Amino acid sequence: MITINSRAIGGREPPYIIAELGVNHDGDPARAVDLTHLAIDSGADAVKFQLFEADRLMSSAAKLAAYQKSAGESDPISMLKRLELTIEQLAPCVTLAQSRGVDAIVSVFSAELVPIAEQLPWNAYKTASPDIINLPLLTALAKTGKPLIVSTGASTIEEISICESWLSDYPNIAYLQCVSSYPTPSHMAELGGIAAISNLLPHRIIGYSDHTTGLSTGMDAVLMGARILEKHFTYSRFAAGPDHAASLDPNGFSLYCHNVRSLPLFDADALASMSSAHRRSAELMSTRPPDVNAVKRVLPIEEDVRTVSRQSLTTTRALPVGQILTSADLTIKRPGTGLAPHHLSTVLGRPLTCAVDADMPLPLNCITIS
């Protein structure tokens, strides 16, 4: 089990349902507050926000994902600038959620923002799927001592194993199976990944970050062993913006929560009214995985987001051939076309074998890391 704000999660405890508000506030602090109210009224156990700075997250090589282009976006940096909320603008949402008995969670996208995030009393942290290999960010969040939920969309089972090796000393960690496609077709929900991750990490709580628009996928995920569910939440699926179409509106989210909590294992009234034989049968049905393969894999529909949204070691200035790399020369930004962030300590003190322009991913062929 893990514990978030004194609530135990796992075993036969009811699933913990997170409403991912993300950027569906459209960059409007007042709308973020309104969304927080709506998500709580719709049955969320927690509301989740995002803390990022466009200039800190996106390099000059950053690109839009295909789903963002389909939503009408034309430039990745201007898109994120429009959708940024500062820590001061998020503060009323945290206060509101906690005053109404609901947890406040935030995904932080840069290690440098973790001290800023710590200015608010978040109940837990989360990392977005692309940051499964972002060692500096993962360890910065884990070192806060707060629960950390790690999404695993567009990642391999080997990458999850590496991530766990970095976080093995931290007890309050959970992993979410996820398909990084927005929205995810229901027949590509990949619920078998829940079992695959659970088999790999039997001591960890496993959940599901659900990017389908269906109302029953959460139930199926719970039957597969998920004890945390995350679902994007919006005021309207037809609003302009990159994530609205992959979200549920208040009515849909309410039904989603109701369906999950109505499973016999978690419905005390339903269990109490059954005979002991029927109760045992219901409990078995509520813990029996659906007939799917326990496989964690990267789907073709995830490849675009995997490349665009992962982060790389990135130059802070133009660097010449032969430059001996120091920490001042590098930061970590999107896209994931250069050396991965976990190579940072390896490349420091080594010379570049080719020149690299400012604010560009560090090419794999410009330095020897073996």
- Please give the average per-residue pLDDT across 182-186, as a whole number: 96
65 contacts 183 by C-beta, under 8 angstroms: no
pLDDT at position 268 is 59
pLDDT band (50, 70, 90) for residue 285: very low
Which is more confidently placed, 366 or 287? 366
Mind spelling out the 3-state secondary structure of the chain? CEEECCEEECCCCCCEEEEECCCCCCCCHHHHHHHHHHHHHCCCCEEEEEECCHHHHECCCCCCCHHHHHCCCCCHHHHHHHHCCCHHHHHHHHHHHHHCCCEEEEEECCHHHHHHHCCCCCCEEEECHHHHHCHHHHHHHHCCCCCEEEECCCCCHHHHHHHHHHHCCCCCEEEEEECCCCCCCHHHCCCHHHHHHHHHCCCCEEEEEECCCCCCHHHHHHHCCCCEEEEEECCCCCCCCCCHHHCECHHHHHHHHHHHHCCHHHCHHHHHCCCHHHHHHHHHHCCCCCCCCCCCCCCHHHHHHHHHHCCEEEECCCECCCCECCHHHEEEEECCCCCCHHHHHHHCCCECCCCECCCCECCHHHCCCC
pLDDT digits (tens, 9 = 90+) for 82-114: 999 999 999 999 999 999 999 999 999 999 999
Whether the pLDDT of residue 190 is over 80: the answer is yes
| pTM as predicted | 0.93
Share of the chain above pLDDT 90, in %: 90
Using 50, 70 and 90 to split pLDDT, how confident is the model at 288?
very low
At residue 71 the predicted structure's pLDDT band, cuts being 50, 70 and 90, is very high
Cα atoms in the 13 Å half-sphere on the side-chain side of 60: 11
Confidence of residue 370 (pLDDT cuts 50, 70, 90): low
> In order of start, what are the domains of the chain with their CATH numbers?
2-300 (3.20.20.70), 311-366 (3.90.1210.10)
The pLDDT assigned to 8 comes to: 97
pLDDT for position 280: 52
pLDDT recorded at residue 269:
62
Asked if pLDDT for residue 184 goes beyond 90, the answer is: yes
Average pLDDT value for residue range 7-22: 96
* pLDDT grade for 2, boundaries at 50, 70 and 90: very high
Q: What is the pLDDT of residues 223-254, one digit of tens each?
A: 999 999 999 999 999 999 999 999 999 999 99
Residue 281 has pLDDT above 90, yes or no: no
